[in-house]
Amino acid sequence: MYLKNLLEELDVIDHQVDPKTAFNSIITDSRRAINGGLFFAINGYQLDGNTFIEQAIERGSVAVISEEPLGKHFPSDFVQVENVRVALAKISKLFYNSPDEHLNIIGITGTNGKTTVSLITQYLLGGSQNVGLLGTIRYDIGNRTLPSHRTTPDSVDCYNLFAEMEKAKCKEVVMEVSSHGIHQHRVDFVNMDTAAFLNLSRDHLRYHKTMEEYFAVKKLLFSSSLGFQLKNAIVNIDCNYGKKVLEDLSPNISKLTFGIEETADFMAKNIQLNPHGTEFTLVYPEGELGVSTNLLGRHNVKNILASMAIAYAYDRPMESAIKRLQSFPGVPGRMERIVAGQDFNIIVDYAHTNDAIDHACEMINEITRGRKIIVFGCGGERDRGKRELMMQAAIKGADHVIATEDNPRNEPQDTIFSDMKKGIQDEASERKVRFIADRRNAIAQAFELAQSGDCVLIAGKGHETYQEEKGTMIPFDDRKVARELIENLYFKKRFSTDED
């Protein structure tokens, strides 16, 4: 592709382009630069790509796109643009021949539930062989699955993966759309047909600063400011922010709402929760149908409603969707039950906000006749203000709280604990809480406390298989650790009978 042909597509401030300069790849990481690549110097959250321009040129990049002035004496071709991330999205789409135009792309956004709704929706629409997926856990491109490296990939990766999905003859794509992804122009110009708004609660405020800013970014997905026009919007009417999304939607967008508390297009009544699954009556525009699922908790009822609404928008018969839902295997690390011979319940969940912890505790309260025990931590180098709120939610929802580490990164664990302690507001609450820095020991302590009929909720990491600490990824999987602890000699003795 010739660089000169792209100039009219970009907001160019200055350029130095040889008419014969052509590029064969798009590079955003100088360490991956190859001969013939076009390097985008992105000023990131932690690193500035402009400091690596020389390295990219040395490795064979033929030109540079940057927001910085490079000058007449720069030894290579360059284009200075208003916004390098917008330029990356535009050029990526053209480079990969606009594969998104041949796909029905469904974006899922919200603070909590994106992964669950994405995976249920993919399953209802036809499964991983037929429906592409971009999300927190994995990327499905029809005939193969790749590990996810971020919830919403960079725009160049999005368009590359869309192209692979098109080759694999996928018709629909479900993708999680994070606030970071929207703000950093990763989904700009994507021909998105449908977007679902699940909810909004406190998260990512170290990045967005305020809830108003956070919501403003999320709402962009439902406007035309990202370079595409939605056909369908699926919105949680129980959420006040969802109501605001609805108020500002273009009249040209078809709307479907879902909820439990408010009157909506997709509603649930006669909800029955138990330790092994959930049943309810689905109320939708064409009538009522019974739903049975192995998914746990009231919040998953809303996740199912959102997914059913999307399936309905794509003309899937509700009877078939409900039947298919019965065999849905669940979502790794999302209300995942661990069964290893113990006489109490163990649930691993990704809950890492106060709202998510609140919902998770509500769920285990509804299915537990004994005590509720929660193990959770707060991530390092993230929004410090939510730590005390998470502690308050845990104290409110559980009988015993064990605070521990959860991706401390480069922040001292004592500092994180100090912030969490602000959520302990009286002596009764203080008696509920223990602080154990080592996560394995914290989980072991929870199991020591647990008795028959109790429930242990291990919150925060969910599907993750590592701890991020001091720049190192240390292998750690809550699910694996829980099984190991249950199956070790101490617990085998504890749960054995005299005959054994």
Q: Is residue 414 part of a domain?
A: yes
Greatest CA span in the chain, whole angstroms?
86
Within 232-320, strands assigned E span: 232-236, 254-259, 266-274, 277-284, 287-293
The CATH number given to whatever domain includes residue 51 is 3.40.1390.10
Model pLDDT, residue 494 = 54
In a domain, 252, yes or no: yes
**CATH code for position 169:** 3.40.1190.10
Q: Which residues pair with 467 in a beta bridge?
A: 474
Within this chain, do residues 131 and 248 fall inside the same structural domain, yes or no?
yes
If asked whether residues 431 and 320 sit together in one domain, one would say no
Residue 500 lies in a domain: no
Whether 106 maps to a domain, the answer reads: yes
Do 52 and 83 fall into the same domain? yes
- Specify the pLDDT at position 482: 96
User: 239 and 163: one domain?
Assistant: yes
Q: How many domains does the chain have?
A: 3
Q: Residue 385: phi, psi to the nearest 5?
A: -65, -25
Residue with tokens 């509500």: 362
Domain-embedded: residue 331: no
**What's residue 234's pLDDT?**
98
- pLDDT in tens for each of the 500 residues of the chain? 999 999 999 999 999 999 999 999 999 998 988 999 999 999 876 778 888 999 999 999 999 999 999 987 788 999 999 999 999 999 999 999 999 999 999 999 999 899 999 999 999 999 989 999 999 999 999 989 999 988 999 999 999 999 999 999 999 999 999 999 999 999 999 999 999 999 998 776 777 789 899 999 999 999 999 999 999 999 999 999 999 999 999 999 999 999 999 899 999 999 998 878 899 999 999 999 999 999 988 889 999 999 999 999 999 999 999 999 999 998 889 889 999 989 999 999 999 999 899 989 998 998 899 999 999 999 999 889 999 999 999 999 999 999 999 999 999 999 999 999 999 999 999 999 999 999 999 999 999 999 999 999 999 999 999 999 998 999 999 999 999 999 885 555 555 544 44
> 282 - beta bridge partners?
268, 289
Among 297, 325, 353, the domain-final residue is: 325
- Report the C-alpha gap between 397 and 342 in whole angstroms: 23
Pairing type for strands 254-259 and 266-274 reads: parallel
Element housing 348 (H / E) = strand 345-349
Clarify whether residues 393 and 461 are in a common domain.
yes
Same domain, 40 and 151: no
Residue 330 lies in a domain: no
Task: Indicate whether 233 and 366 sit together in one domain.
Answer: no
Q: What is the CATH number of the domain that holds 418?
A: 3.90.190.20
Give the residue numbers spanning the domain of 62.
3-95
At 72 the pLDDT is: 78
What integer pLDDT is reported at residue 475 of this predicted model?
Answer: 95
Q: Count CA atoms within 13 Å of residue 56 on its CB side.
A: 29
For residue 166, being part of any structural domain is answered with: yes
Q: Report pTM.
A: 0.84
DSSP 391-454: HHHHHHH-SEEEEEES--BTS-HHHHHHHHHTT--SHHHHHHEEE-SSHHHHHHHHHHH--TT-
b/e map 337-370, b = 16+ CB within 10 Å? ebeeebebbbbbbbbbbbbbbbbbbbbbebbbee
Query: Does 474 map to a domain?
Result: yes
Residues 390, 467: one domain?
yes
Question: Based on the domain organization, do 35 and 56 belong to the same domain?
Answer: yes
Q: Are residues 103 and 85 in the same domain?
A: no
Q: Which pLDDT value is given to residue 201?
A: 85
The pLDDT of residue 499: 44
> Among residues 95, 124, 143, which one ends one of the domains?
95
Last residue of a domain, one of 302, 325, 348: 325
Q: Are the C-beta atoms of 430 and 421 separated by less than 8 Å?
A: no
| Domain co-membership, 163 together with 200 | yes
Return the H-helix or E-strand segment holding 147. Answer: strand 145-147
Q: Are residues 76 and 199 in the same domain?
A: no
